[in-house]
Structure 1
Amino acid sequence: MQNSHQSVKSLHELYEKLGIPVDLIDAASGFTIHYLQQTFKEFPFTSEPFRPNYFSFLFIKEAFGKYTIDDQVFDIKPGTVYFTNPGNYRIFEWHSITDTCLITFNEGYLKEYVHQDVYRDFSYLLTETILPRVMQPAQFEMIEQLYQQIHREHLGDSPYKHKIVGSLMVALLLKLKEYFFQDYNPIYEGNRSSQIVKTFKQHLEQHFRELISGKVHTPLRVQDYADKQHLHVNYLSTVISNKTGKSIGTWIADKTMAEAKVMLQDVNLAIKEIANRLGFLEAAHFSNYFKKHAQISPAEYRKQAL
């Protein structure tokens, strides 16, 4: 990989950049499952730093190495499961692999084949950095049976393959919740999510200062705020919504309205000028936007405020 911390949209893209065979990786569905011992043949192997835009579960039946997630380094050892989320900085280092299964999936696949409101029942998917979980032998055996069946179905040609795999993923996610995450609540998770929210708010304030001062003229999109933190847009949106109770769109709208109301109280500023400063191409667009959120027009608001 040419750039440090480069974002990758899929495991297929990551393997291509690392020069790893991609024969076993489905590039199109948003879901992959394969056994690493069929892919990694030469050891030790250390990846370049990367930030994936997908979820992953790594089930270690027999393997050794190290796994870096953000600023934490974990030893890879038998009988463990690793979960990572979109956006985390990662490096993996393999010393040996005898039997290990990797499952990756994106949010689109989850919502299409698992459940539209998947985070309601599986809120642990929102976590930042989960410590590796060591399973009891009976627990690992149960999980192994599930991912083996998922693997078989994924390789099959049933017209209902994705729905079957989605149903099996529900069972897998429920078992992991039963074993490790029954009391997990992302609202009380610390550190990185809190930093993401804080950084987003800082970016929001800075951008509006630049808009109003005329340094920039185009409003930032949600994707732009995600790019600033090197995060997947869906992941940033989820963190902000769950930590603050407000969507990013609501944060942007509230900030836009707050700044507009302040400027409307300055009689020396024409409404057209206010619209331009806030990044609206036409005063009419600004008026419609303001009326949608305030139920009165900018002119009526100005009259009332004065």
Structure 2
Amino acid sequence: MAKKDVRVKDLYELYQTMGLPLDHVDPSSGFTIHYLQQTFKNLPYTSISFRPNYFSFLFIKDAFGKYTIDDKKFEVAPRTVYFTNPGNYRIFEWYRITDTCLITFDESFLKEYVHGKVYDHFSFLLTETVEPRTLSMEQFHQIEQLYRLIHKEQLGNSLYQNRIIGSLMVALLLKIKAYFFQDYNPIYEGNRSSEIVKTFKRDLELHFRDLVSGKTEHPLRVQDYAEKQSLHVNYLSSVISNKTGKPISAWISERTMTEAKVLLQNTGLSIKEISNRLSFLETSHFSNYFKRHASISPVSYRKQQIK
């Protein structure tokens, strides 16, 4: 498969790149839900090859096509559910779409509105490639009820829209876990490179949890993550970059920003306290870092969130 390294931060950017309608995609919240039959009017359709920086669930009630993740190709058929996480190359092909729902979300949305320790409860979110599952009619109906409620909420204007959606996402993830992943352990899935990637993601998650909770005050370097797996730092860097399309430094900085944004929601914490929790030596260093990555100061971001 010929691969072009097209990276997209969200679904809005992907659709914009492919010249697709943007009417049903919200570029601002870190969460989208829409029905693909509203977007893909001219079929058949084949997407560009791309790497997304977001999670996605595809609920296919009635459609046919193909979905390619890296070098694995899966048939799309009615009552199947797809899950993909950030990093892998993918291409989708649609031949017919009658009723199909797509949900996408980023890590910040998960942390802020689903659960602060979401990977403890839903470890399957750490995997790289999950084969699609075909559900019974009753199973698919139960999941359909949930995603239709989520879609209805997304179309509304509730003051607590994201929190309501987050609660419904918990129910949806629990159903998916029950149907797909009751005994799933991401550490034992996939080849050696996949295990290295998943272990790195787990180590990253645990370390930032310790930072935020005050169990440690020392940030980990790339060398430290390599030593945890008894790997040479260059080899770890190469595997992470090749498998996910992002260098380790990008994973660490994105994880730092996710935690910073979550902590800034807590008005009981000062900017200095948040800076300390994330192991910045000076508050000014944290402010400059945050502004460089978010194009807005921590103070301004906090004001936006608590309007």
Q: Given the superposition, is the C-alpha separation of residues 40 and 189 from structure 1 closer, same or farther in structure 2, using an over 3 Å criterion?
A: same
Residues 62 and 232 of structure 1, relative CA distance in 2, 3 Å threshold = farther
- Correspondence for 2:194: 193
- The two structures have a TM-score, normalised by structure 2, of 0.66
Hey, what does 1:274 align to over in structure 2?
none
Corresponding residue pairs, total: 220
CA distance in 2 between counterparts of 1:115 and 1:75 reads 32
Unpaired stretches in structure 2, ≥5 consecutive residues: 201-224, 253-307
Deviations 1:209-236 (A, max 9, x none): xxxxxxxxxxxxx9x9965651386995
Distance change in 2, residues 1:233/1:7 (3 Å)? farther
Aligned residue identity for 1:204: V
Alignment of 1:4 with 2:33, yes or no, is no
Percent of pairs identical after alignment?
60
1:232 & 1:148 partners in 2: Cα distance? 37
Gaps of 5+ in 1: 208-221, 238-306
Alignment partner of 1:65 is 2:82: no
Q: Kindly indicate whether residue 242 of structure 2 is the aligned counterpart of residue 204 of structure 1.
A: no
SS in 2 for 1:147: helix
Where do 4+ consecutive residues of structure 1 move more than 4 Å? 200-203, 224-229, 232-237
In 2, Cα distance between the equivalents of 1:103 and 1:234? 28
- Alignment correspondent of 2:158: 158
Q: Within 2, Cα distance between the matches of 1:9 and 1:126?
A: 18
1:55 to 2:55 alignment: yes
Distance, in Å, in 2 between the alignment partners of 1:83 and 1:71 is 16
What does the per-residue CA deviation read over 1:46-77, in whole Å, with 9 as the maximum and x for residues that have no partner?
01100000000000000000000111000100
- The offset of 1:205, in angstroms, is 3.7
In 1, are the aligned partners of 2:188 and 2:195 still within 8 Å (CA)?
no
CA separation of 1:75/1:151 partners in 2, compared to 1, >3 Å: closer, same or farther? Answer: same
**Alignment partner of 1:230 is 2:245:** yes
> Cα RMSD (Å) of the superposition?
2.6
The 8 Å contact of residues 187 and 195 in structure 2, kept in 1 or not, is answered as no
Which amino acid is 2:51 matched to?
R
**CA, structure 1 residues 234+139, in 2 after alignment: closer, same or farther (shift >3 Å)?**
farther
Q: 1:140 to 1:235 in 2, by over 3 A?
A: farther
Cα distance, 1:166 vs structure 2: 0.2
Matches within 5 A, 1:207-218: none
Whole-Å separation in 2 of the counterparts to 1:138 and 1:235 = 42
Q: Retained in 2: the 8 A contact 1:86–1:232?
A: no
1:79 aligns with 2:94: no
1:149-196 Cα distance to aligned partner (Å, 9 max, x none): 000001100001000000000000000011111111112122142354
What is the alpha-carbon distance in structure 1 between the residues aligned to residue 140 and residue 235 of structure 2? 48
Q: Normalization by structure 1: what TM-score?
A: 0.67
Distance in 1 between residues matched to 2:103 and 2:249, nearest whole Å: 19
Give the secondary-structure state (helix, strand or coil) at the position aligned to 2:7.
strand
**CA distances 1:74-119 after superposition (whole Å, capped 9, x unpaired):** 0100010000010011000000100000000000000000001000
Whole-angstrom CA distance in 2 between matches of 1:151 and 1:64: 22
Q: Residues 1-306 of structure 1 correspond to what in structure 2 (within 5 A)?
A: 4-191=4-191, 192-194=193-195, 196=197, 201=226, 204-205=233-234, 229-231=244-246
Contact 2:34 2:151 in 1 (8 A): yes
